[in-house]
Structure 1
């Protein structure tokens, strides 16, 4: 088994030298050219002083050079440290002090933020310019000797999460972990060289760089990069470039489907697999998507700390509604009750997992790592879930999102699932608000589909027919938008004060 990302690239270049590896705007880069560019840059980085185990931080939008740099760092034995190009100063300062990068490659306006962060932190990092569609550090001569041997069990990537807590966590994976993990993902999703994978999420997210782009490389599938996400841009790519594989959040599917309905176009999709993750499903939108494209939307449940966990075979039997799928090959899950013992199938418990790609830990954060990984090596997902007698996993929501009403636990995701059945609901966020009589009230903020004018009474009637009375929202408000983090996940901690302000204004 290949245990280095750059070896996956070497194999793709040897097997399909004239095949297109990357589509970046009007550019098409062949596998052989991709591999040669990576080799040149790996040697330049070595000449410049990058040693195995040292990190390189990147701040850039999506472009081929982002991928070339990543694979070059891996080939030279270095560590890719990845933050979003528009990350805030506090998060950037943290990444600099945590990763201690030897080099920082920044594109365009990000250079100003990078220089300011280096100055604030007193970092000794050397900043290089990253220009899309241009050779990186061309003034440095390539190293002429043998590149260093790469320790496959050494750290290879540090991804700074944009979680819903607002504090980034430095998820560290070894070279082996990302190489073997993506190989397994490619098997599950049946990726091959005939596929064209659309990367519409930022490469600065591990979904874009590792789960999509590196997985594509393991099978020499074409990587179609979008500079940034736009619904019409996605449709143009799907209709004009033979996209066969797409992965995105529920919010992205909502926006793309709405953009399609504004068009007068012939449906000429070539999709064979569509994946959602990171947000609650919206079944009405996904049914619409299937009518538009002919391809269902399947779930993938995991975290970059531990993956794959729960996935779906695109050629298999569709999972039951509400299920995230079955436990992935090579993964294990357990569901623990309050007493720390495993619950019976069908019962809800705290979900813990062990996956083919387990993080080494949170880089230089042993206390955080200790909270996330149990003494016996299981990753605490922070979610409540259950598994049925047929092996299907149902994720009910974050432990931190649990609503307690009259002593009864209510899972926000369960209520959101029912709300998403309404075809005029684009997105819903369910939270618990303080309630003097019952502890907490179930409250929902709903973003309607464009042009829809849903009534709160009709929504309540639907919920009452599908949920136990204690779970029916006591407050429903229609809003124009929900607060999201950079990954597109709803920030529930901001939904709560938003609804409280609305309630206070109405009571005044």
Structure 2
């Protein structure tokens, strides 16, 4: 049994995964990105070449390499090459502004930054250089970042042309590949082989919906363990073709995305951005079998007027989460989008994949739960005093196991607050388990609001709203009220041709919810503010309501 097929996960590293996948699946397609199609054998060769380019550029074991780019084959190659050179990956959110990127690069001491020449009409490196604090003293390509020595430009839109390498310490993608000739292949292979399973593999920053993002560190073994658990529940095999819509900088697109594929020889088909017409065309053309993503992705596909013009018969598996998933949506995904299996899952940056449904679970189980523990996690529901609660009672979700993060980067105090002395990670999520050990997430502790002394969990109200005819998506937040302290405010997206009034919505809620849970105001919107993982940014909605 090879090191990447050992069911225990011991001995696993990302460089080992690349070697093993090339050996097992050499001629199969690994990545399909527009005109770029790479087999597993070609993937190994490209990664090795790029890794030698990084070694020639001075990257040492334990360094940090940052990738600030959208979903393309370059992201995958840069990440695997960084690991093969012995470095830890620091993914950057493509929605970050210059100051946010500067902060992460500074805190991680990243030596190398991969960034596109342009994405969606903006030059990320120009944003970085224009950020407040970027004018400090530094020998490298960006003042104020003394550790950053090299920027590698990914050729994405071609907006900068030859000017991409005009700045000192800034080179193009092809120039990095040319540097590989300076390092013997044996030296590159030795560097990759020296990576150990418990070395830091990556530093993923929390979504930052509230407060300053924290860098959660994971090892190579943990990264592969959680990917293997996801693949096992999803029954992933070499015949699968996986459309990765979730951004690679998020664990859903990275660890539960292309790493899952490489474990079993499936093909990765990255989506640069989510465009419903492009997604439907790609599913048909590439015979896509797996499409994970937040519920809004599938709601949008179902609502598209030309959906039936495309052959979606290849679809096999959908995995969703990050928000409430109504039974009706699960049933429509199976009946109208032709998915054989629709699964829900629960995870966090600090734990990646903690629970997941199984392919034989009922639509009701898939809708009302996020599955049962996986990847070696123990699950516990606790009250405010830390006492374990019985099945059916709401409390904070605690997780313990070998795949809880190593800790927060340079923040032992935050790590100690998150992981108690007994090893339980306090998620900040509210939920309960049923008699079978399946987890239902009720809400985030921070999203709960209190109406006249009664606690309201928005997910319960959102579940009622999702059943209203014509509702595509909705969100509920608590807003200030002079008499009750807080009341609920609902935001709804409607399908074209459907209309509801505020009074209609409130009337239905009064029929199905206790009075204190009924929203006092309803606003119809064209879209909801979301982060890159698809989670609604409720702090922005609360700001709108005030």
The Cα offsets for residues 474-493 of structure 1, whole Å up to 9 and x where unpaired, read as 22222232222333321111
Write the distance in 2 (CA, Å) between the matches of 1:136 and 1:38. 15
2:163 alignment counterpart: none
| Aligned counterparts of 1:79 and 1:142: Cα–Cα separation in 2 | 22
Deviation at 1:4, TM superposition (A): 0.5
Kept in 2, the 8 Å contact 1:425–1:446? The answer is: yes
Matches within 5 A, 1:52-71: 52-71=61-80
Mapped to 2, the partners of 1:369 and 1:41 lie a distance apart of 34
RMSD: 2.0
Say if 2:466 and 2:474, in contact at 8 Å, map to a contact too. yes
Cα distance, 1:114 vs. partner? 4.2
Alignment-derived partner of residue 45 in structure 2: 36
Q: What is the aligned partner in structure 2 of residue 151 from structure 1?
A: 196
Q: Over residues 178-220 of structure 1, what are the superposed CA-to-partner deviations in whole Å (9 max), with x where a residue is unaligned?
A: 1222122211211111111111122222221221111111111
The reply on whether 1:377 has 2:446 as its aligned counterpart is no
Look up the SS of the partner of 1:163 in the other structure.
coil
After the TM superposition, which residues 471-486 of structure 1 pair with which residues of structure 2 at under 5 Å, given as runs?
471-486=517-532
Q: Who is 2:19 aligned against?
A: 10
Mapped to 1, the partners of 2:175 and 2:511 lie a distance apart of 60
Cα deviation code 1:115-157 (max 9, x no counterpart): 4543244444322222259646023124214323112212111
The answer as to whether partners of 2:330 and 2:342 remain within 8 angstroms in 1 is yes
Contact 1:285-1:426 at 8 Å conserved across structures: no
Matches within 5 A, 1:242-281: 242-259=287-304, 261-281=305-325
SS of the aligned residue for 1:401 comes to coil
Structure 2 residues without counterparts, runs of 5 or longer: 1-5, 118-122, 135-141, 158-172
Matches within 5 A, 1:310-349: 310-320=355-365, 321-328=367-374, 330-349=376-395
What's 1:503 paired with? none
Among residues 478, 491, 495, which one is paired with 1:432 in the alignment?
A: 478
Which residue number corresponds to residue 165 of structure 1? 210
1:368 offset after TM fit, Å?
A: 2.2
- Normalising by structure 2, we get a TM-score of 0.87
- Asked if the contact 1:41–1:142 (Cα under 8 Å) also holds between the matched residues in 2, the reply is no
Contact 1:100 1:125 in 2 (8 A): no
1:330, 1:355 within 8 Å by CA — same for their partners in 2?
yes
Q: Cα offset for 1:355?
A: 4.5
Which residue number corresponds to residue 459 of structure 2? 413
Instruction: Compute the displacement of 1:29 (Å).
Output: 0.6
With structure 1 as the length reference, what TM-score do the two structures score?
0.93
| Separation of aligned partners in 1, 2:227 and 2:438 | 23
SS of 2:354's equivalent?
Answer: strand
Question: 3-state DSSP class of the match of 1:217?
Answer: helix
**Which is further off, 477-486 or 168-177?**
477-486
Q: Provide the C-alpha distance between the structure 1 equivalents of 2:375 and 2:208, rounded to a whole number of angstroms.
A: 27
| 2:261 aligned with 1:216 | yes
Cα 1:64–1:163 change in 2 (3 A) is same
Q: Report how many aligned residue pairs link the two structures.
A: 499
| 1:127 pairs with 2:151 | yes
Give the equivalent residue in structure 1 for 2:108.
Answer: 99
Alignment partner, residue 138 of structure 1: 177
CA contact (8 A) 1:309 1:354 kept: no
**Is the deviation greater in 391-400 or in 86-95?**
86-95
2:123 pairs with 1:112: no
Structure 1, unmatched stretches of 5+, are: 501-508
> CA distance change for structure 1 residues 356 and 299 in 2, over 3 Å: closer, same or farther?
farther
